[in-house]
Structure 1
Amino acid sequence: MRYLPAAVALVLLAAACGTDDDTTEAAATAGDHPVTVENCGVDVTFDAPPERVVLLESAPATIMHELGVLDAAVLRAGAFPEEYYDDETNAAIAGIESLGEDLDTSGHLQISQEVIIAQQPDLVMGLPDGITREGLDGVGINALMQPVYCPEGVDATTFDDVYEQIETYGQIFDRADEADALVSDLQDRVAAVEAAAEGAPERTAAVLYPTVGGGSGYAYGNRSMAHPQLEAAGFSNVFGDVDERVFEVSLEQVLAADPDVLILLYVDGDPAAVKDAVVSLPGAEDLRAVQNDDILVQLFNFTEPPTPLSIDGLERIAEQFGVSP
């Protein structure tokens, strides 16, 4: 998982693109192996369900747990904040050997490809800096990255990308029935929030990623998972006319947009410091969201990449701002 430094005192995960039908599609019938999926324009073939998985990002853990295959993860690296998961999932994650949680100041996982190869996994999930698909494939190790982070060939992100990712995992791990049940449940949850938001007063919102300590920053446009999240909760994205997943933004741009609500994302650390990084900026006191304290600070994976955590994040937004079912 990649990250960019980040404006309004903001930092954020690496710019990469939204997902579309070409990004991760299963080319075989669920339950059949070998199974071939397309991931970021590359065909990845699984002769059998993976049994030694290395997690180099936190996002897949929820899907794997819900499908009953998290026990296939034998190693992990990077941050897995407990706030993302229920007690059972946290206990399972705690039982997975950690190769380290070293992140640099911009949120990049620091680990060498040689360390990963030495563990002899059959699947690596996540490709942080220094780990390449080609390097792993050369020694017979499959790799998958979140479609939203593909470098090209992707489009605007929607909730369908959550469902497609679950279905892909269901085929890879031979858990198609469990995947179908999970998708149905998530669709019902999204529909419930959308129904609750109908008829609510129109409000605007911006999703930002603040950098504690200052620096440039980013906001989320109409290709990000933040955009359908806001729409489902009844908000208009003040940067919805920006045809980008994420882009550098200035405080002046945020002041000009003056959203009713601010949603601030972060990778780890103190959420109070993340909020302070924005509200303490010169001029931020003029923002109506700051004046009314209509600010939600939440961990990054509650928005991106598209996973069941994105639906958890949607419900958190709805609850925080009074549109809960």
Structure 2
Amino acid sequence: MKKFLQLMLTAMLAVLLLAACGSDSKKEETPADEKQAGEETNTEQQSTDTTSYPYTLTDAAGKELTFEQAPETVISLVPSNTEILFGIDAGDQVIAVTENDDYPKEVTELDTVGDFTVNVEKVISLEPEAVFAHEMMMSSSEEGLNQIRDAGIPVIVVPNAETFDETYETIELIGAVMDKNVEANQIVEDMKTKVADIEKKAADITDKKRVFVENSDAPEIYTPGKGTFPQQFLDMINAENIVTEEGWIMISPEKIVDENPDVILAMYSYVPNVVENIKTRDGFDAVTAIKEDQVIQLDEDITSRTGPRLADGLELFAKAVYPEVFGE
């Protein structure tokens, strides 16, 4: 039961995070001039191998923070931040995460400070030198984040990444705070190389496949449209999304059948037998993806967390849609 709930919560987090990619709330919460100021503050630091302290940044909440040295103990409040911290070899400084964190394996042995609801008292009691929060927490957890700030603990609100380029900037930002610039730059370069290789292969595809992506099971089937990372993935691999609406929408099974996708991708695991459930839906036996056995379940964490594995998520999409081009 606990595993079921964890998977369901993970799927819900993916929906919330990716939905933010297609909305205007980010622009409302983070004025363009504040975001630009933060980027300008960090440009010089990210171009060097080591961070020059004192190091000042402006985060996604518009807060200016100054660090006299790299934090020796930090807490991460979202899985994507955690993956970045471990990816840049700062995992030893992470003393606590949330119950939603599951990668890399070492994080499961760390102390936890809640799930979608942060245990503010516990965060404060652990006395970290910094807390890495996320812009998607602003509307629901602002009071708690302020309590942490009032306790004298710096809170770095990492901005929502809506593109690969913004994901790279996030990795470089966290790398600069932690004085792990070389490691962060290497991750970004590796991601860029993988993305470029995938796009190069995809450029030769002339017969585009029509794809349906779903992020939740019937009866409330949610699917990504324009302005979401799955849409970007499909664009980058030269595939066509059957959904043309903006953001995340709920779609009926009848509409899916009418659109007759060549491939169906399921980005969730909170229910068992996902692929078989889709195949046996009423009327789906007439869908090309069912007839040709092209229903594929993808890891929702790899394909939704805006961190070092995001390029791997693109690769999962590519191999699932075009195995003849991207298969091993």
With normalisation by structure 1, the TM-score equals: 0.77
1:235 aligns with 2:234: no
- The 8 Å contact of residues 170 and 178 in structure 1, kept in 2 or not, is answered as yes
* Residue 46 to residue 223, structure 1, CA distance change in 2 (3 Å): farther
Offset from partner CA, 1:125-171 (integer Å, 9 cap, x none): 3449556432322223333455338xxxxxxx322122111111121
Task: Identify which range, 174-183 or 283-292, moves more after superposition.
Answer: 283-292
Kindly report which structure 2 residues correspond to 1:76-155, keeping only aligned pairs within 5 A, or say none.
76-81=97-102, 85=103, 89-90=104-105, 92-99=106-113, 109-121=116-128, 122-126=130-134, 127=137, 130=141, 132-145=144-157, 147-148=159-160
* Residue 4 to residue 93, structure 1, CA distance change in 2 (3 Å): closer
Moved over 6 A (4+): 2-6
* Residue 221 to residue 289, structure 1, CA distance change in 2 (3 Å): same
Which secondary structure state, in structure 2, belongs to the residue aligned with residue 148 of structure 1? coil
Offset from partner CA, 1:202-222 (integer Å, 9 cap, x none): 1122221123xx442321122
Identity of aligned residues (%): 22
Which secondary structure state, in structure 1, belongs to the residue aligned with residue 309 of structure 2? helix
Offset from partner CA, 1:194-246 (integer Å, 9 cap, x none): 112222221122221123xx44232112211112211222212222x3332x2
- The 8 Å contact of residues 267 and 300 in structure 2, kept in 1 or not, is answered as yes
Aligned length in residues: 293
Task: Identify which range, 12-21 or 173-182, moves more after superposition.
Answer: 12-21
Which structure features the higher share of helix residues? 2
* Residue 217 to residue 183, structure 1, CA distance change in 2 (3 Å): same
Correspondence for 1:255: 257
Which secondary structure state, in structure 1, belongs to the residue aligned with residue 266 of structure 2? strand
- Aligned-residue offset at 1:193: 0.9
Kindly report which structure 2 residues correspond to 1:176-195, keeping only aligned pairs within 5 A, or say none.
176-195=181-200
Correspondence for 1:106: none
In 2, Cα distance between equivalents of 1:13 and 1:202:
29
- Aligned-residue offset at 1:13: 3.4
Correspondence for 2:4: none
* Residue 288 to residue 44, structure 1, CA distance change in 2 (3 Å): farther
RCO comparison, higher one (Cα < 8 Å, 6+): 1
Correspondence for 1:224: 228
In 2, Cα distance between equivalents of 1:301 and 1:145:
21
- Aligned-residue offset at 1:12: 3.3
* Residue 99 to residue 139, structure 1, CA distance change in 2 (3 Å): closer
* Residue 192 to residue 130, structure 1, CA distance change in 2 (3 Å): same
Gaps of 5+ in 1: 103-108, 150-156
In 1, Cα distance between equivalents of 2:222 and 2:98:
26
Larger Rg: 2
* Residue 12 to residue 33, structure 1, CA distance change in 2 (3 Å): same
* Residue 257 to residue 52, structure 1, CA distance change in 2 (3 Å): farther
**Alignment counterpart, residue 68 of structure 1, candidates 63, 85, 89:** 89
* Residue 290 to residue 75, structure 1, CA distance change in 2 (3 Å): same
- The 8 Å contact of residues 101 and 108 in structure 2, kept in 1 or not, is answered as no
**Alignment counterpart, residue 32 of structure 1, candidates 52, 57, 66:** 52
Gaps of 5+ in 2: 1-7, 46-50
In 2, Cα distance between equivalents of 1:292 and 1:145:
45
Which secondary structure state, in structure 2, belongs to the residue aligned with residue 299 of structure 1? coil
**Alignment counterpart, residue 165 of structure 1, candidates 170, 173, 176:** 170
Which secondary structure state, in structure 2, belongs to the residue aligned with residue 301 of structure 1? coil
Correspondence for 2:208: 202
Offset from partner CA, 1:235-275 (integer Å, 9 cap, x none): 12222x3332x233332333333322222112x546x5333
